[in-house]
């Protein structure tokens, strides 16, 4: 394909992506996420359904694309903030801060995050523990827990299991369930997680 044609295709694809994401955001803001479907997104974006489905299999992929940049920015900041060389704070203090930042991010984006997981959950290839965001968060938590053990802040731990349980407790689905069904606000949920995974792990005496 000639260079000019490639450039034109890239520009066209970028324009379609912009229109699709803007349309999805407008529909969600206007009608709520549960009321939005692929047909409406195509109509709002002014494109055919075939054009939309060639780029996104379902709405979950669109919402994932909407959050991709903010998720990457959040993870990069989390990884840099909580590297051992980045702070003089103890490992448990850094873990506490990471948990707080993650809950704040989830609270800001919980509807999108939960809907994405629900829309992907029926796919045979959907394995939450293999998603890049899960693996990176697990790596952050495991590093901090290993540091806490080495520094004597905790007793001996099964670090992998503890990090996995922490990730499960911090899933958007768990947060939304506690917020919408059990009456927890963000501060209550964060306090409960801290009691379990910070104070509950801290070595006494």
Question: How do residues 8-48 score in pLDDT, each as one tens digit?
Answer: 787 888 999 999 999 998 999 899 888 999 999 999 999 99
For domain 1-56, give the CATH superfamily. Answer: Homeodomain-like (1.10.10.60)
Q: Give the model's confidence band at 1: pLDDT under 50 very low, under 70 low, under 90 confident, else very high.
A: low
Q: How far apart are CA 26 and CA 18, in angstroms?
A: 12
Out of 17-21, 72-76, 86-90, 154-158, least confident range: 86-90
* pTM recorded for the entire structure: 0.77
Domain edges within the chain: 1-56, 67-199
**Average pLDDT score over residue span 81-94:** 82
Give yes or no on whether 1-56 and 67-199 have one common fold: no
Question: Cα separation of 54 and 25, whole Å?
Answer: 19
Selected from 3.10.520.10, 3.40.50.300, 3.40.50.2000, 1.10.357.10, the CATH number assigned to the domain covering 67-199 reads: 1.10.357.10
By CB atoms closer than 10 A (0-12, 13-18, 19+), residue 92 is buried
Contact criterion met (CB below 8 Å) for 66 and 138:
no
How far apart are alpha carbons 154 and 145 in whole angstroms? 9
Residues 122-133 have a mean pLDDT of 58
């Amino acid at each position: 394909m000639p260079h000019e044609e490639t450039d034109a295709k890239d520009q066209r694809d970028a324009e379609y992506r912009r229109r699709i994401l803007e349309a999805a955001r407008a529909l969600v803001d206007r009608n709520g996420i549960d009321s939005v479907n692929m047909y409406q997104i195509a109509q709002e974006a002014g494109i055919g359904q075939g054009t939309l489905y060639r780029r996104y299999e379902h709405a979950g992929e669109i919402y994932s694309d909407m959050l991709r940049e903010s998720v990457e920015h959040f993870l990069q900041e989390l990884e840099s903030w909580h590297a051992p060389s980045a702070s003089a704070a103890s490992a448990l203090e850094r873990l506490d801060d990471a948990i707080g930042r993650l809950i704040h991010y989830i609270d800001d984006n919980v509807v999108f995050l939960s809907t994405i997981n629900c829309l992907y959950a029926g796919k045979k290839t959907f394995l939450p523990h293999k998603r890049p965001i899960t693996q990176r968060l697990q790596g952050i938590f495991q590093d901090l827990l290993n540091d806490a053990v080495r520094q004597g802040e905790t007793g001996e731990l099964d670090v992998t299991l503890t990090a996995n349980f922490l990730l499960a407790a911090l899933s958007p689905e768990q947060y939304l369930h506690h917020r919408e069904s059990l009456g927890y606000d963000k501060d209550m949920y964060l306090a409960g997680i801290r009691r379990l995974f910070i104070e509950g792990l801290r070595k006494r005496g």
